[in-house]
């Protein structure tokens, strides 16, 4: 996949991996990047020769994906690549006596991580299919391969989105060969979301670089950094992989 002169939508683009993806895409010569999120942060109006547009939307609430899709279709029909990067991780104890009191927070986590990427892709599908070559990249997580105990809902949403991405790829291969479906699985990345958690984190810039390189090379599943090691462990001994991650 070549990003030269393309218009690309990146969700969760104001910071972390999303912000780094914008830099990488600009370096590859993208014509324009539509950045979607709750706040613009320090996003400039332009990165090099690449124009930056910001769309304010909250994908953690029902209707957010439809709202963003309407704007993309009406104002940016030239958009041919969607990168579903927005996400959040909530540490929650689902067997605590007060677990039900956090249901609203969990519902928003499910909406942002799982429902919105699916619905956004479905809403803009007619727009994408009009292009000679188009793509959807869903950013999941290495935790989609093996969950950790401290964030069960996050892990479930990422595993679910990974499964959806694979099934969607099957459908595209059979009936929409101009549409490429990618899944990118980052390891622990140094972002605001992971502040104070773990060590040996990959930089957001390096993570973004590996995702974009994987898409350029046409790799449908892009294991980033240490996720490659986890993938190998899960092939050789799933029980060992589960045991290692369960401590998290």
Helix (H, G, I), strand (E, B) or coil at 45: coil
Containing 248, the helix (H) or strand (E) segment is none
In angstroms, rounded to a whole number, what is the distance separating the alpha carbons of residues 1 and 180? 9
Q: What is the dihedral of CA 149, 245, 21, 174, to 10 degrees?
A: -90
Q: Which residues are tagged catalytic?
A: 154
Between CA 50 and CA 10 the distance in angstroms is: 14
30: its two tokens? 């993208």
SS (H, E, C) 121-174: HHHHHHHHHCCCCEEEEEECCHHHCCCCCCCHHHHHHHHHHHHHHHHHHHHHHH
CA separation for the pair 219, 46 (Å, rounded): 29
Candidates 107, 161, 120, 172; CA nearest to 11 is 120
> If DSSP codes are grouped into helix, strand and coil, which group holds residue 114?
helix
Tell me the C-alpha distance between 163 and 195, whole Å. 28
């Amino acid at each position: 996949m070549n990003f030269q002169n393309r218009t690309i939508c990146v969700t969760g683009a104001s910071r972390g991996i999303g912000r780094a993806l914008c830099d990488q895409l600009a370096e590859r010569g993208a014509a324009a990047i539509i950045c979607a999120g709750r706040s613009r942060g320090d996003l400039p109006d332009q990165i090099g020769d690449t124009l930056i547009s910001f769309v304010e939307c909250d994908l953690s609430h029902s209707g957010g994906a439809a709202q963003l899709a309407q704007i993309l279709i009406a104002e940016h029909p030239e958009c041919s690549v969607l990168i579903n990067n927005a996400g959040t991780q909530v540490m929650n104890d689902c067997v605590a006596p007060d677990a039900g009191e956090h249901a609203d927070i969990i519902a928003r986590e499910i909406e942002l991580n799982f429902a919105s990427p699916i619905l956004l892709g479905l809403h803009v599908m007619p727009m994408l299919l009009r292009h000679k070559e188009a793509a959807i990249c869903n950013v999941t997580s290495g935790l989609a391969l093996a969950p950790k105990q401290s964030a069960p809902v996050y892990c479930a949403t990422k595993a679910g989105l990974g499964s959806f991405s694979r099934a969607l790829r099957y459908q595209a291969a059979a009936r929409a060969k101009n549409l490429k479906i990618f899944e990118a699985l980052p390891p622990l990345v140094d972002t605001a979301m992971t502040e104070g958690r773990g060590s040996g984190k990959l930089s957001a810039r390096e993570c973004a670089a590996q995702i974009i390189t994987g898409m350029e090379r046409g790799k449908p599943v892009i294991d980033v950094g240490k996720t490659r090691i986890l993938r190998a462990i899960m092939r050789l001994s799933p029980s060992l992989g589960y045991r290692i991650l369960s401590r998290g």
